[in-house]
C-alpha cells in the first residue's frame, strides 16, 4: 500500500495539503511536533475519507530527525511514493537578533531535513514509480529579503535544490515540484515574529492555505517543476526580476526589518 508522507502536516499549508490529498483518496503519513493535532487530524481524515493514515510526532530540528522518520516508515512497512517537504519557518528581524542555535535549527528544518529525507527515500521513490517529490519554497526564494535574510536564503536553496534534482531525475519516473507561496494565512507570521507592517500587508494580499494547497497538489500531479501561487505573487517575482535589486530589497526591508 502506497502513502504520501508530509512534513509540517499539523497546521497551515501542510494541513491543507493533507485535506487535499485525503479528498483524492491518497493514504497519508503525517509528520510534525504537535502530537495532539496530528492524532486528531489523522483520526478525522481516516473517518471522513476512508483512507489509511498514521502520524509521527517529532522535532525535525533535532539531530538524526530525517533518519528517524525514514526508519519509522520502514518499521511499519509503509511504502512512500509521494514525499512532501513542507515543514519550515522564518525568523524575522536584524540578523544578529538570533543565536547560532536558533539558526542551526531553522536551517536544519528548512534545508537539511528536505535534502536528507529526499536522499533516504530516493530508492523507494524509484521503486514505486510514478512517484513525486513536492518541496515548499517561497516567493522569498526569488530575492534577498532584509529582515528575513536567512529564511529567504534557505528558500532560495530549496528552489535551486528542487530544480537541480528535477533535471537529474527527469527520466526516472520521479518528478520534483517546487511550489512558492507568497503570503498565506497560517501561523507563519506569528512564529517568524514579523512586525505590524508585514501583518498589515498580509491582511490585504494573503491567500488561504486551502487555495495554496490545491495549486500545490495540482502542480505535483501535473509534474510541474516550479510554480508560484497566485497572480499577485507571480507578478511580484516578475517585478523582482525586472527591477534593480536595491529597490526590491529596500521595499522588502521596509516590510520585514522590524529590528
Ligand atoms: N505562510 C506563508 O506566508 C508562507 C509563504 C511562503 C512559504 N511558506 C512555507 O510554507 C511551509 C508551511 O508553513 P505554514 O505557512 O503552513 O506555517 P505554519 O502554519 O507555521 O506551519 C508550519 C508547519 O511546520 C511544522 N514545523 C515547524 N517546525 C517544525 C519542527 N521543528 N519539527 C517538525 N515540524 C515543524 C509545524 O508543525 P508543529 O508546530 O506541530 O511542529 C507546522 O505543521 C513552510 O515551509 C513555510 O516556509 C509559508
The crossing angle, in degrees rounded to 10, of helices 35-49 and 12-23 is 20
- Tens of pLDDT, residue by residue over 79-125, are 999 999 999 999 999 999 999 999 999 999 999 999 999 999 999 99
State the distance from the centre of ligand 1 to the C-alpha of 8, rounded, in angstroms: 6
Judge whether 151 counts as a catalytic residue.
yes
- What pLDDT, on the 0 to 100 scale, is given for residue 228? 98
Domain extent listing, the chain: 2-256
For residue 253, how far is its CA from the centre of ligand 1 (angstroms)? 22
Protein residue whose Cα sits closest to atom 23 of ligand 1: 8
What nine digits make up the cell of 173? 519516473
146 vs 198: CA distance, rounded Å: 13
171 CA to centre of ligand 1 in angstroms: 31
What ligand 1 atom has the least distance to the C-alpha of 87? 24
Q: Is 86 in the pocket of ligand 1 (CB under 6 A)?
A: yes
Which atom, in ligand 1's list, is nearest to the CA of 15? 43
In this structure, are residues 195 and 256 in contact, taking their beta carbons and an 8 Å threshold?
Answer: yes
What is d(CA 176, CA 157) in angstroms, rounded to the nearest whole number?
Answer: 14
Helix (H) or strand (E) holding 54: strand 53-57
User: Which of 239, 215, 26, 255 is closest to 143 using CA atoms?
Assistant: 239
Which residue among 3, 89, 132, 151 is the active-site one? 151
- Per DSSP bridges, beta strands 207-208 and 184-185 are parallel
pLDDT of 255 reads 87
Indicate the CATH number of 2-256 among 3.50.50.60, 3.60.150.10, 3.20.20.140, 3.40.50.720.
3.40.50.720
Terminal Cα distance for the chain, rounded: 50
Mutation choice for ligand 1 from 9, 19, 32, CB with most ligand atoms inside 8 A? 32
Residue 126's pLDDT is 97
Nearest CA-CA partner of 66 in 36, 31, 26, 90: 31
pLDDT of residue 258: 58
Q: Enumerate residue ranges in the chain where pLDDT < 50.
A: 259
Q: Against a cut of 0.85, is the pTM above it? A: yes
Which residues are CB-contacts of 80 (< 8 A; sequence separation ≥ 6)? Answer: 2, 3, 4, 5, 29, 73, 121, 124, 125, 128, 131
Distance 186 CA to ligand 1 centre (A): 8
Amino acid at each position: 500500500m502506497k502513502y504520501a508522507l508530509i512534513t509540517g502536516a499539523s497546521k497551515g499549508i501542510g494541513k491543507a495539503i493533507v485535506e487535499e490529498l485525503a479528498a483524492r483518496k491518497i493514504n497519508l503519513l503525517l509528520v510534525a511536533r504537535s502530537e495532539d493535532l496530528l492524532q486528531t487530524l489523522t483520526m478525522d481524515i481516516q473517518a471522513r475519507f476512508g483512507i489509511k493514515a498514521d502520524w509521527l510526532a517529532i522535532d525535525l530540528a533535532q539531530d538524526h530527525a530525517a533518519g528517524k522518520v525514514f526508519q519509522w516508515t520502514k518499521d511499519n512497512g509503509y511504502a512512500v511514493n509521494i514525499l512532501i517537504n513542507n515543514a519550515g519557518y522564518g525568523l524575522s528581524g536584524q540578523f544578529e537578533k538570533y543565536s547560532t542555535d536558533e539558526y542551526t535549527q531553522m536551517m536544519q528544518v528548512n534545508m537539511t531535513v528536505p535534502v536528507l529525507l529526499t536522499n533516504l527515500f530516493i530508492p523507494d521513490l524509484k521503486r514505486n514509480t510514478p512517484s513525486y517529490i513536492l518541496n515548499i519554497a517561497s516567493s522569498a526564494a526569488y530575492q534577498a529579503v532584509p529582515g528575513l535574510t536567512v529564511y529567504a536564503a534557505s528558500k532560495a536553496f530549496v528552489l535551486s535544490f528542487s530544480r537541480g534534482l528535477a533535471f537529474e531525475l527527469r527520466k526516472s519516473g520521479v518528478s520534483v515540484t517546487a511550489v512558492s507561496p507568497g503570503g498565506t494565512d497560517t501561523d507563519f507570521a506569528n512564529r517568524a515574529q514579523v512586525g505590524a507592517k508585514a501583518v498589515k500587508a498580509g491582511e490585504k494580499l494573503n491567500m488561504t492555505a486551502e487555495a495554496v494547497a490545491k495549486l500545490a497538489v495540482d502542480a505535483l500531479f501535473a509534474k510541474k517543476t516550479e510554480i508560484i501561487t497566485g497572480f499577485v505573487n507571480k507578478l511580484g517575482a516578475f517585478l523582482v526580476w525586472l527591477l534593480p535589486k536595491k529597490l526590491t530589497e529596500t521595499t522588502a526591508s521596509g516590510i520585514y526589518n522590524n529590528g
